[in-house]
Structure 1
Amino acid sequence: MEQIEFYKKIEETYKQKEKALVGTITAIEGNNNFEFDPMGTKILLRQEDRLTYPANRLKLWQMIMDNIVNVDQLMDSKFPILKKVKIDSGIEVEVYFEPVLEEPRLLIFGAGHVAKPLAKVGKMVDFTVTVMDDRQDMVSRQRYPQADELVCADFDDYLRNLQIKENDYLVIVTRGHKHDYEVLKEVIDSQAKYIGMIGSSRKVKMLFRQLRDEGVGQELIDQVYAPIGVNIASETPAEIAMSIIAEIISIRREE
């Protein structure tokens, strides 16, 4: 029952968009006289009230937190951190801290040859994957068994109601310049972490020129990754997908 309540607390924290960490003791060295085995013990740490749950672990975790230098920096982390912390009586504990964050979402516009391996490898590197296209036969579960969400809709209609978040990664790989432009124009001023568009240098220059002619600022255009992907001389759809994911990972981890 306690474990269920613990994860409910994490869910509440996530929904309230509070800055928080889950700490887990993964190793301990030295003699200790704790009333319970500390190995595997977890705690929820929130920005506002720090140690919150479960209550019967607060004494141990307060000792740990009191011996961590720069707790605020730890709370600001967006990636897991493993720390060794010395506490009273010569005891050293190893703690794995995980930030409570929304899972990154990979939004793939277009369900053609590149999208298929891209969705697969996107799941492999822990993205929530959405694939959308305006062709029903292209967004079937048979083609995309790994995708979390499949959407068949007109691009403009879908984008009109789409809420893009700061942890979103957008990949534009539609079947033609017209749709690429429609999507890019709609999302270019969003808060997405990454916007990438497939295409030759000639096509990219043409679409960027069109955006400028319609009043889109150069600072927004400069944030678009196009031509998309890391330059690995990729040719096949699978190779192109790997180059895109490599670029996305580099952006995701740059902090």
Structure 2
Amino acid sequence: MEDLKVLRFIEDNIQNGTRCAIAIMTDSYGSSPRKEGTTMGIDENGNISGTIGGGALEKEVIDRAINAVKEGKNKLLTLHLNDEGELHMQCGGKTDIYIKVFIPSDRIIIAGCGHIGKELYFLSNYLNFRTIMLDDREEFADKDIFTNSEEVLKGDIYENLTGINITSNDYIVIVTRGHKYDQEALEAVVNSKAKYIGMIGSKHKITHTLKNLIDKGITEEVLNRVYAPVGLDISNGEPREIAFAILGEILKVKNEGSGENLKKMKFGGDFFGKKTC
């Protein structure tokens, strides 16, 4: 029954977009608090389900699991339960614990279901991103168009955005039908945990929007994390190419890429060793 609760804890976290891990005691030697097969769930915030024995051992495993979740890498631990080990315990045994990390698939939240939003949705689906679509216009927020989207939210964009549990696996793109709605959308998400926030617009519109938000008490440091104008400088200005440019920027952030072309990175721009501009 305890293992079932742990598995439900993992499932709930994944569905909510929260990174988590399961710690499994794969072997134990000598005296140890629990036996092999014991499990415990840990999320990225340190919340747990189940126990592997409490005390110093459990604290160490929780700390290691949180680090593994942040790194996105599974870990195999061997912990010595004696005074000479890292835990300074008196059990006298040793235990092996495997930490399996679960990372929910990335999600793109698209505020605006117009031409660019629609193209961005189709490209996001092709790249296996989960999506949420939002628009204040009922005829644009059409579930028959965005059939694979997790949610298609109609109505006030600000209110709908504030109702979403935004995590570090989320990428937000603001492409609404006007300056007023872009500003409201940005205000709703700028302090969120989203890994990426991008907003479309001209330099003048963006400067005006940011000034308005500063007047409302949002700091320059917070606003500087916004990618605006959104996207890489690669499109011809048509909606589909703009969507490609936005996805390119998202992939750059997601994969911590440099954005440089590989020829320049691998050959310095010239196959034969000459540096080029």
TM range (shorter): 0.5 to 0.7
Report the counterpart of residue 78 of structure 1 in structure 2: 72
Report the counterpart of residue 150 of structure 2 in structure 1: 148
- 8 Å contact from structure 2 (residues 162, 189) kept in 1: no
Aligned residues: 193
> Structure 1 residue runs of 4+, over 6 Å off?
6-9, 71-75
- Percent identity over the alignment is 32
TM-score, with normalisation over the residues of structure 2? Answer: 0.61
Change in 2 beyond 3 A, CA 1:12/1:189: closer
Q: Distance in 1 between the 2:236 and 2:4 partners?
A: 43
**1:121 to partner: Cα distance:** 0.8
- 8 Å contact from structure 1 (residues 234, 243) kept in 2: no
Give the match's secondary structure for 1:183.
helix
Report the counterpart of residue 238 of structure 2 in structure 1: 236
Report the counterpart of residue 206 of structure 1 in structure 2: 208
* Residue number among 7, 10, 32 corresponding to 1:13 in the alignment: 10
Give the match's secondary structure for 1:196.
strand
**1:128 to partner: Cα distance:** 0.9
Report the counterpart of residue 121 of structure 2 in structure 1: 119
Q: Residue type of the partner of 1:232?
A: I
Report the counterpart of residue 162 of structure 1 in structure 2: 164
Give the match's secondary structure for 2:227.
coil
Q: Distance in 2 between the 1:75 and 1:214 partners?
A: 35
Q: Distance in 1 between the 2:209 and 2:147 partners?
A: 33
Q: Distance in 1 between the 2:141 and 2:196 partners?
A: 23
Q: Residue type of the partner of 1:78?
A: G
Report the counterpart of residue 224 of structure 2 in structure 1: 222
**1:222 to partner: Cα distance:** 0.5
Report the counterpart of residue 175 of structure 2 in structure 1: 173
RMSD, aligned α-carbons: 3.1
Q: Is there any run of 5+ residues in structure 2 with no aligned partner, and where?
A: 28-35, 38-63, 75-98, 258-277
**1:146 to partner: Cα distance:** 3.3
Q: Is there any run of 5+ residues in structure 1 with no aligned partner, and where?
A: 1-5, 21-45, 56-70, 81-96
Report the counterpart of residue 251 of structure 1 in structure 2: 253
Q: Distance in 1 between the 2:198 and 2:25 partners?
A: 38
Q: Residue type of the partner of 2:237?
A: E
Report the counterpart of residue 135 of structure 1 in structure 2: 137
